[in-house]
């Protein structure tokens, strides 16, 4: 556990030196898209390729044994970090998107028939809409969408009503990538559990900011990406309860996911091998675990992050003509806003000229944008390595955009 002293003593300027890309003139405020990597993660991946590279689970030679040990060690590290019961509950995937697709295809689709339901919320990322829409379309099932209010919070009574209709799964984000809303996932999962509805949590935007305990929140599945949490791209994890995973159909077929193959019949391996056909992203998994180790060692940064976000919200709010999109009860990582009379893309271009990287657009959440009747937003998203000087740069850039458009 981290102490109060750690929280106060979190030294952002020291932390920034761990990230070679920072401090070179770009205020990087697009962390909800992807985060930067500390030297330690970059070095770990390099060391794997330089010293430990072999294929996993198949060789009798030393390099293969070493690669297998590191890869499975990474799985154990992740299982421990999120408090899974066993490493067999951790499936390596390409990222959150693949994790959701895996659950959609292997757990949900076989259960769907005409009249079945799937439940999501109105704030989901396209990756937590489209996979469900596709399988509902194929089977005649219905996709229910729990509404959100004008602040960007899920309307819990409506969510509960839809849970009572008995969907095959309820799949929702822990934190909204477009608004920064922190959903009360424990409460929502409890609603689902008391109605026997399995849950999948899209943890892509919460994992970079807070540690998850999957047994405490008591979800059935939890999906997240490494690249949004200071690790490499192309790797992520799906947590699933072991008994559910072992009852599921494989997702892809090939080597490494079998017990026995003949031309007539194949017996599939249990989880996680069952879902990891082919050579996995070994270096990615090792880098992912290294990033977790790094983040757990730098101390408690929640206070620092919260102060930064509060400051950004406050200072944007003070600019005449800025409208914040989404004022959720609890916010994490993300501030979405609009500048009167200036399209988000033009704000984004002008901010880029001022050395500030933000995202402008619909943030892969077009239905959410329709909900607010806007084409998109400007999104500044933060990580623990951001500092107040970068908030200054954001504010100066937004003022500059206002000035350019007021000529």
Partner 1 sequence: MSQLTELYQEVILDHYRNPRNAKPIEKETHSAEGHNPLCGDDVEVHLLIEDGVVADVSVRGVGCAISTASSSLMSEAIRGKSLDEVEQMFERFHAMVTSPIDAPAPIDGLGKLEVLAGVRNYPVRIKCATLPWHALKSAIAGSSEPVTTEAGE
Give least dist CB 362 to partner 1, A: 5
Whole-number Å distance between alpha carbons of 356 and 16: 16
Give least dist CB 213 to partner 1, A: 37
Give least dist CB 136 to partner 1, A: 22
Of 148 and 360, CB closest to partner 1: 360
Asked if 375 is part of the footprint of partner 1 (rule: CB under 8 A), the reply reads yes
Selecting among 136, 192, 364, 378, the annotated active-site residue is 364
Asked if 353 is part of the footprint of partner 1 (rule: CB under 8 A), the reply reads yes
Of 20 and 341, CB closest to partner 1: 341
Which one among 187, 366, 367, 388 touches partner 1, defined by CB under 8 A? 366
Of 134 and 404, CB closest to partner 1: 404
Would you say 187 and 160 are in contact if contact means Cβ atoms under 8 Å apart?
no
Q: Which stretch binds partner 1 (CB under 8 A): 54-62, 247-255, 258-266, 359-367?
A: 359-367
Give least dist CB 397 to partner 1, A: 11
Which one among 94, 331, 362, 379 touches partner 1, defined by CB under 8 A? 362
Tokens 């099932």 belong to: 141
Of 244 and 374, CB closest to partner 1: 374
Asked if 369 is part of the footprint of partner 1 (rule: CB under 8 A), the reply reads yes
Q: Which stretch binds partner 1 (CB under 8 A): 59-67, 101-109, 301-309, 358-366?
A: 358-366
- Beta-carbon contacts of 262 under 8 Å, excluding residues fewer than 6 positions away, are none
Distances (CA, A) of 357 to 325, 341, 350, 377, 379: 19, 21, 10, 14, 10
Give least dist CB 355 to partner 1, A: 12
Q: Is 192 a catalytic residue?
A: no
Q: Which stretch binds partner 1 (CB under 8 A): 85-93, 99-107, 233-241, 356-364?
A: 356-364
Tokens 């608004």 belong to: 179
Give least dist CB 398 to partner 1, A: 14
* Per-position x/- string for 325-344, each x denoting binding to partner 1 as judged by CB under 8 A, each - no binding: ----------------xxxx
Asked if 376 is part of the footprint of partner 1 (rule: CB under 8 A), the reply reads yes
Q: Which of 230, 201, 228 is nearest to 213 (CA)?
A: 201
Q: Which stretch binds partner 1 (CB under 8 A): 85-93, 276-284, 311-319, 357-365?
A: 357-365
Which one among 346, 367, 388, 399 touches partner 1, defined by CB under 8 A? 346
Instruction: Please provide residue 191's backbone torsions phi and psi, each rounded to the nearest 5 degrees.
Output: -55, -45
Give least dist CB 34 to partner 1, A: 16
Q: Which stretch binds partner 1 (CB under 8 A): 134-142, 331-339, 354-362, 388-396?
A: 354-362
Q: Count of residues binding partner 1 (CB under 8 A)?
A: 19
Asked if 398 is part of the footprint of partner 1 (rule: CB under 8 A), the reply reads no
Give the interface with partner 1 as residue ranges (CB under 8 A): 341-346, 349-350, 353, 360-362, 366, 369, 375-376, 404-405, 407
Which residues are identified as catalytic? 364
């Amino acid at each position: 556990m981290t102490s109060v002293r750690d929280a106060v003593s979190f030294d952002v300027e020291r932390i920034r030196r761990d990230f070679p890309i920072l401090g070179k003139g770009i205020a990087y405020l697009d962390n909800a898209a992807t985060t930067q990597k500390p030297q330690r993660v970059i070095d770990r991946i390099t060391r794997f390729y330089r010293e430990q590279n072999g294929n996993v689970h198949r060789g009798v030679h030393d390099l293969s044994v070493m690669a297998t040990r590191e890869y499975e060690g990474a799985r154990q590290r992740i299982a421990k970090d999120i408090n899974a019961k066993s490493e067999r509950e951790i499936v390596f995937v390409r990222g959150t998107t693949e994790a959701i697709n895996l659950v959609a295809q292997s757990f949900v689709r076989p259960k769907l028939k005409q009249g079945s339901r799937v439940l999501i919320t109105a704030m989901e990322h396209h990756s937590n809409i489209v996979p469900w829409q596709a399988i509902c379309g194929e089977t005649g099932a219905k996709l229910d969408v729990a509404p959100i209010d004008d602040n960007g919070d899920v309307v819990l009574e409506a969510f509960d009503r839809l849970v009572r209709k008995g969907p095959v799964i309820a799949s929702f984000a822990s934190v909204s990538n477009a608004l920064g809303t922190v959903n009360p996932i424990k409460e929502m999962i409890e609603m689902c559990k008391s109605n026997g509805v399995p849950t999948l949590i899209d943890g892509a935007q919460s994992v970079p900011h807070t540690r998850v305990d999957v047994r405490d929140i008591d979800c059935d599945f939890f999906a997240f990406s490494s690249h949004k949490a200071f690790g490499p791209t192309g790797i992520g994890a799906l947590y699933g309860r072991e008994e559910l995973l072992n009852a599921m159909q494989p997702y892809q077929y090939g080597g490494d996911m079998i017990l026995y193959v003949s031309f007539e019949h194949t017996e599939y391996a249990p989880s996680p091998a069952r879902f990891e056909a082919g050579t996995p992203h070994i270096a990615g998994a090792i880098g992912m675990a290294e990033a977790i180790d790094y983040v757990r060692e730098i101390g408690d940064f929640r206070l620092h992050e919260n102060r930064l976000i509060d400051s950004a919200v406050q200072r944007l709010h003070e600019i005449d003509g800025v409208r914040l999109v989404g004022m959720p009860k609890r916010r994490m990582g993300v501030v979405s806003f609009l500048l009167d009379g200036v399209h988000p893309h033009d704000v984004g271009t002008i901010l880029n000229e001022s050395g500030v990287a933000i995202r402008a657009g619909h943030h892969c959440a077009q239905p959410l944008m329709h909900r607010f009747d806007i084409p998109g937003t400007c999104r500044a998203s933060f990580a623990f390595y951001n500092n107040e000087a970068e908030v200054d740069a954001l504010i100066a850039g937004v003022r500059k955009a206002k000035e350019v458009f007021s000529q």
